[in-house]
Structure 1
């Protein structure tokens, strides 16, 4: 009977952690600056929205308020992700930023629902809007949002937490464009329904982003299989390309974050094979072919 096992848990993280920390620090800085810009201009939009009577402006101000909170949450996610692992959290706090992305996705959906509700109310009971005030505030808002969007767009676009922050700012940018368009229509035609109508169009775009980010982050949180790491494909590839692997079983693939896929599996070795050599071969194949540098591979002899 052969129950001899070779079991190892290889982190292979030396270079990866250094690179990740640099990326995280850069993203955290970008998010912090965007949060200050967003919160500062939000105050101006509230004043402008109240004075002009524009729902587009007030909706954008509400969006920017939630965005300031969401950007602060994203910043916290990056900050906690930098903390090292400890006895109670063997993977550290890396997944907190995925949780932050999930919360940001939900707030995008809630915000879009509120904008749509208010817009319908305005369509039923139209209210006058001061086009000139709306235009002035919206133009300044557009400039602020372009700066914030540029800052965030320069970061790592594979990072879901940064994507969530970016889409919040993109929603603000679209809101400013909608407010400018509404101001032009009101100033030249006096047609007030354009204000809530454009607000609803922006809300629909926000919904698309909210659904996408919520779905992706939720998939990671429930430890769904990352794209390109289907267990059946891993099993077939290893059995076909690792010469001394008799069978590959118990394959599990999930992700700590969108950039850190994890795999565990068991390999049954052929007769008279060095288990450690086989284990290293399997890990090398996983890293080279599937991009997995964090894998737990258990190798055992065949049952006699």
Structure 2
């Protein structure tokens, strides 16, 4: 009883910290966009786009927590976990367009520099750094207990680097007058966001297309299943993910006619998939080897 109660408290604590971090990050993102237009700094606008990734990551983490509370029903027999992936895919496409725009604008400004208010730019960037540090402090402890919180923590940590870049650009402009450095920092942040955006989109599309989850070698899975005593063959093997970290497998297992112990085989394969491949939802169908051979022979005669 005490262990279950503790776990509930930890999860509630994670949710509260995520809400606070989301409120801080989103509020400052809006302020940073306004500051970018007031100061004329493209680097600030680029950092605001990066903070959009943080806000979305935090929001997706909160959505995942809420979804986890909803049971499956007759219309959504697997539950609502895939909503998290749809949100992530939308986020990736939006960020890709924003990053391309920033890179284009940086190119235009290098050709035609615009005046930048470095003092206001520096003040806004320093506030942004403070927001990132507070958010990191909030999420640090939970990052070791929850993958959701860890993902959000890493997003905020990476955005802190963007804030440091903007601060550096503001200081250089203030003391040297090199306005072009603003476009260079903006482009650097844009190039920093693009690869991460591509990875997010690629992973999201792989899940939506029911591809084999990253980190799982389907050939290795098949090899390990064939090594289980009593199994002669395996076919119709499918492995996919409902959402990140929630893997599913289905397969037909051909067993020896005289082996018996089908339940033991099912138990062993299920345990093997969970322990070695982190596949916790398996659907297995047992087929008799003689019956399977007869089906194959009939199909061969028909062809």
| TM-score, normalization by structure 1 | 0.81
Tell me how far 1:107 sits from its aligned partner: 2.5
**Cα distance in structure 2, aligned partners of 1:125 and 1:69:** 33
| 1:143 pairs with 2:130 | yes
2:232 aligns with: 246
Match of 1:279 among 259, 262, 266: 266
* 3-state SS in 1 of match to 2:280: coil
1:4 aligns with: none
Tell me how far 1:43 sits from its aligned partner: 4.0
Q: Does 213-222 or 147-156 show the bigger shift?
A: 147-156
Match of 2:77 among 86, 90, 115: 90
RMSD: 3.0
Q: Identify unmatched segments of 5+ residues in structure 2.
A: 292-303
Q: Are the equivalent residues in 2 in contact too, given 1:248–1:267 (CA < 8 A)?
A: yes
Aligned residues: 286
2:112 aligns with: 125
Q: 1:214 to 1:88 in 2, by over 3 A?
A: same
Q: 1:46 to 1:258 in 2, by over 3 A?
A: closer
**Cα distance in structure 2, aligned partners of 1:23 and 1:217:** 28
Q: How does 1:141-180 map to 2 (within 5 A)?
A: 141-152=128-139, 154-155=142-143, 159=147, 163=151, 165=152, 169-170=156-157, 172-180=159-167
2:275 aligns with: 288
Please list the CA deviations of residues 177-232 of structure 1 after superposition, one character each: whole Å capped at 9, or x if unmatched: 22211111111111110011111001100112111111112211211112343333
**Cα distance in structure 2, aligned partners of 1:63 and 1:57:** 10
Q: Identify unmatched segments of 5+ residues in structure 1.
A: 1-16
| 1:189 pairs with 2:181 | no
| 1:209 pairs with 2:209 | no
2:243 aligns with: 257
* 3-state SS in 2 of match to 1:293: strand
Tell me how far 1:251 sits from its aligned partner: 1.2
Higher helix share: 2
**Cα distance in structure 1, aligned partners of 2:54 and 2:159:** 8
* 3-state SS in 1 of match to 2:165: helix
Q: Are the equivalent residues in 2 in contact too, given 1:123–1:193 (CA < 8 A)?
A: yes
Tell me how far 1:53 sits from its aligned partner: 2.5
1:7 aligns with: none
**Cα distance in structure 2, aligned partners of 1:64 and 1:227:** 26
**Cα distance in structure 2, aligned partners of 1:284 and 1:69:** 36
Q: Are the equivalent residues in 2 in contact too, given 1:182–1:194 (CA < 8 A)?
A: yes
| TM-score, normalization by structure 2 | 0.81
Tell me how far 1:171 sits from its aligned partner: 5.6
Q: Are the equivalent residues in 2 in contact too, given 1:158–1:259 (CA < 8 A)?
A: no
**Cα distance in structure 1, aligned partners of 2:85 and 2:253:** 31
Q: 1:243 to 1:46 in 2, by over 3 A?
A: closer
